[in-house]
Amino acid sequence: MKTPRRFQRSQARNSGQPPGLDRPAADIIGMRLNKYIAHAGVASRRTAGDMVKAGKVKVNGEVLDNPAYQIREGDVVEYNGEVVAPSERFVYLLLNKPRNVITTTNDEHDRTTVMDLLDEPALKGMRLFPVGRLDRDTTGLLLITNDGDVTTRLTHPRFETAKIYEATLDKPFSTLDLAQLSAGFELDDGPFQADWARYARENDPLTVSLQIHSGRNRIVRRAFEHLGYTVEKLDRTYLAGLTKKALPRGFYRYLTDEEVRRLKYFK
């Protein structure tokens, strides 16, 4: 049996209650079924739609496979035999993920997950989920929330969410290959092109910073591998306007109200 790694909350956490939104009944009536499930914290809106189409959701005891179904007064929605309902409060946590932690809500091999790092009893009963993924060896910024709309805005390709990574490589990175990252090239699953790429520090050709909008699996590691390098360390330092300022590795904090507004309406 593992002992969960627990971390003290960051002192950057806001004072008072975390930002949240009340959910009056009038906001729920007429809501699309996939959005309802997403706001219940079960999954992102996109994934919730797939779950509905796959027949995994019941409304009033009957399987309903139409994500566009509009919720009516008195409807009872079930997923996996459990009644679900939109949260009364949205929660937004920014975690500086350490290495050897899995980006998932649970792990069948009993490895430490990002959810194990949330050390407040009040959070344990909430249907929170990580937005996007960082692989086990990648560190840095990860948003955890129960807001399906924000999840969609950060993960859907059409919103082109900006992310900055710092990669430490197995050998000096050439200036020619630095230009290649910005010029772009083809990978097995499609094109890759960084918005920009540069050495992270002066006189350090082993460490490269780059900004991308793609969210494809292991895209940064695969881009460097394509150019003949192995990424020894990878850290996400920026996510949709959020930075690691005053947030040590393994710590998390609540977003401020202003940060939440920017996430909801960023371009």
Output 136 or 148, whichever has higher pLDDT: 136
Distance (Å) of CA 130 to CA 37, 104, 177, 185: 16, 7, 33, 30
CATH of the domain at 58: 3.10.290.10
pLDDT of 90: 85
Same domain assignment for residues 111 and 225: no
Tokens for 150?
Answer: 């924000």
Q: Write the burial class of residue 162 (CB in 10 Å: 0-12 exposed, 13-18 middle, 19+ buried).
A: middle
Q: What average pLDDT is seen over the chain?
A: 85
Considering the candidates 27, 135, 189, 257, report the single residue annotated as catalytic: 135
Cα(30)–Cα(86) distance, integer angstroms: 13
Cα(1)–Cα(97) distance, integer angstroms: 22
At CA 236, angle to CA 253 and CA 92, rounded to 5?
A: 30
Strands 231-239 and 185-187: unpaired
181: number of CA atoms within 13 Å, CB side? 27
Cα(215)–Cα(264) distance, integer angstroms: 19
Cα(10)–Cα(28) distance, integer angstroms: 34
Give me the amino acid identity at 260.
Answer: V
Same domain assignment for residues 121 and 138: yes
- Checking if the pLDDT of 15 tops 50, the result is no
Strands 138-145 and 62-63: unpaired
Residue 223 lies in a domain: yes
**By percentage, how much of the chain surpasses pLDDT 70?**
88
Residue 5 lies in a domain: no
* Domain region containing 75: 22-83
- In terms of Cα–Cα distance, which of 1, 100, 94, 82 is closest to 37? 82
- Structure confidence by residue, pLDDT tens digits, 194-252: 999 999 999 999 999 999 998 888 999 999 999 999 999 999 999 999 999 989 999 99
Same domain assignment for residues 106 and 173: no
- In terms of Cα–Cα distance, which of 20, 15, 14, 11 is closest to 251? 11
Same domain assignment for residues 130 and 227: no
Compute the chain's Rg from CA coordinates. Answer: 20
pLDDT of 8: 43
The domain boundary, picked from 83, 107, 132, lies at 83
User: In what helix (H) or strand (E) does residue 173 lie, and over which residues does it extend?
Assistant: none
- Checking if the pLDDT of 59 tops 70, the result is yes
CATH of the domain at 215: 3.30.2350.10
Q: Residue 11 — pLDDT band, cuts 50, 70, 90?
A: very low
Domain count across the chain: 3
Tokens for 43?
Answer: 């999954």
Name residue 44's beta-bridge partners: none
The domain boundary, picked from 65, 83, 101, lies at 83
Residue 227 lies in a domain: yes
Catalytic residue check, 204: no
- Structure confidence by residue, pLDDT tens digits, 81-113: 888 887 657 899 999 999 999 998 888 888 999
CATH of the domain at 119: 3.30.70.580
